[in-house]
Structures are given as C-alpha cells and as structure tokens.
A = this chain, B = another copy of it.
C-alpha cells in the first residue's frame, strides 16, 4: 500500500498520535469565547519582558514546557522540535527553544505553520525517525503589526477586511503510539496566487489556497465533505470564509454545515473590535491545541480536517508591486 496518494497527499499507514497539546494566549484571547480551553492566559502583551518580540519567544518557551509537562515526558525524550513563526528569521522560535537543546527544524509557512510543522513532525514520527517530537508555532499581535503593517502608536483605523493577529502559542506532542487523536492523512499545499495585493485582506489571499488544498485532499483521498464531522480553517476570518464557501460550491462541494474557522471562533468581533476575525500562526495553533483537541477528547467531533492557511506577505515584495501568494496545508485528525 502506497503512502503517497494522489498529487499532494500522504497517507499515514501507522498514524502518529497527538498525545498532548498545550496553549498559551494573550489577554484579548483570554477574554474571548474560547478562554476556558487555554492552559494559560497572560495578563499583558509584554509577558514580563521589555519587548514584544521577547514576549513572543517566551510564549513558545512556555507552550513547549507545558506540552512536555502535560505528556509526562522530559525534555530528553523529545527527539526534534519543528517550529516556526511570523517574525523575520523566525526569531520567536529560535530564542523560545534556545534553552531546550533539542534538535531543531525551523519552518516557515506564514500562518499555515501549525499544519506545516504538524505534517513534518508526523512524517518524521511515522518514518521511524523519532518516538516523540514537538510541533509548535506562535504569533503576537504587537510584533506582527509592527513588522508587517504600521506602528501601533499610529493608532490607524483598520478596514473591516482586516484580521487581528492572535497573541499566543500552541504546541503539540506527536508520538508513534499512545492515547490521543491520530494523524491519518496530510495534504501539503502548493503556492496559490490569485494576484491579491491588499495586505489588509488576508482572507482574500488565503481562501483560494484553502479551497485548492481541500479540493485536492478530497480528490487524493477519495473522501468528500460528508466524511468529516468538522472542517476547520486556520484564519480566513469572515471575508475569507465566505470566499472559501463560494469557491468550493463552484466545485460542487458544500461544506457549510460542518465548517468552522479558528479566526472566527477565537474572538467576539462586535464586542472585541477584531473586524474580520483572528489571524496569525497562533490563531490556528491555540484553537487546535485548546478547543478542537479538547472537544475531540470529549467526543464532540471524531473526524476533523484541519487546514491552516498562510499568506506569504512580505513588506518588501508588496512594495515592489508583487502579489501576496497564499498556501494552505491540511491534516486529517481522527479519533
């Protein structure tokens, strides 16, 4: 039986297991509707540090420590950590894991990073290269605004298409065996570029990539929307959600009655002034590590297709007139 099926999909014949997950979020996420699912809610965006970037590193550090603790493992049990984030040169990850002395594979997939790190981790575990491995990512509202958009001090008004970068980090401990939901399939995304150039509308950038990956997942696995209890995207927000549903309908898939977007779930947009919803690597990560995996444990969902969506936004390429390419990676998580 072949592990690589169709154009983009891998089937895990010995499915890796998510034996533990951890989540840590910022104050705004801690006031949102998913608050009770998170392990830790920090009180302010600086998290005791003197810069936002150092705070983001600390988020990853704490998420990784927590997932090791929750799995009753020690640092020495972990063979690899696969991790990345939105900061230039993925410094949140580098500094966040610096003290652990665990072999490190840095990844970058913008906000698709939670799914990318989970795919790489699952391949490493199923390939027999590790018993235990951590997949993690983070984002931080203040760091992301500063790096990608404009200084927070400017207090600029945000269009309704804009999303709010989640401050938070999620970590998953993937093992070759154990108790927990299993990774059964992974569909790795390709670059999808619909020539969107609006850095304040990430939903429009990412929706075509999400649609492309979902459709290819269905084709490759010979599954369709009826197979899953939940199909969840990372951070399309309200704008991207509508676009995704529209595109999929054109291809005769109607996922609307089992569809959710982490960016829509994590805030109450009207109360919390988050416009189109949440975004950032941390959005998909903490919603998966907290809400989704917890409710899978509770039996709410058994078959979940998790699609983290990324916009390969660069201030340099945008200033040079380039479009913003999108990418989305899908992971089938099943009980």
What residues make up the interface of A, taking CB atoms closer than 8 Å to B? 3-4, 7-8, 10, 51, 53-54, 79-80, 84, 87-91, 94-95, 97-98, 100-110, 116, 119-120, 123-124, 126-131, 147, 188-191, 193, 312-317, 320, 322, 325, 327
Contact = CB atoms under 8 A, between A and B. Distances in A.
- A-B pairs with the 6 shortest C-beta distances? A127-B127, A103-B188, A89-B314, A88-B88, A106-B108, A94-B312
A53 B316 contact: yes
Given A88-B88, A90-B312, A91-B316, 14 more contacts: A3-B128, A80-B188, A87-B314, A89-B110, A91-B312, A91-B317, A95-B322, A97-B191, A101-B190, A103-B188, A104-B188, A104-B327, A123-B127, A123-B129
26 contacts: A3-B129, A4-B79, A10-B129, A53-B316, A53-B317, A53-B320, A54-B322, A80-B188, A87-B314, A88-B89, A88-B316, A89-B108, A89-B110, A89-B313, A90-B108, A91-B314, A98-B193, A102-B190, A103-B189, A104-B327, A105-B109, A105-B116, A106-B108, A107-B107, A126-B127, A127-B127
Contacts of A105: 107, 109, 116, 119-120, 188
A135 to B, nearest CB: 13
A193 B96 CA distance: 13
Given A4-B131, A94-B312, A124-B123, A107 B108 contact: yes
A325 B103 CA distance: 14
A106 B109 contact: yes
A14 to B, nearest CB: 11
Nearest to A117: B105
Contacts of A90: 108, 312
Contacts of A314: 87-89, 91
Most interface-central of A8, A188, A325, A327 (chain B CB within 10 A): A188
A87 B272 CA distance: 34
A100 B192 CA distance: 10
A101 B190 CA distance: 6
Nearest to A76: B7
Contacts of A130: 4
Contacts of A3: 127-129
A33 B84 CA distance: 37
A75 to B, nearest CB: 11
A190 B84 contact: no
Contacts of A325: 94-95, 98
Contacts of A131: 4
Contacts of A322: 54, 95
Nearest to A188: B103
Nearest to A51: B320
A108 B123 contact: no
Contacts of A190: 100-104
A98 B94 CA distance: 27
Contacts of A109: 105-106
Contact of A95 (B7, B98, B317): B317
A155 to B, nearest CB: 22
A258 B88 CA distance: 36
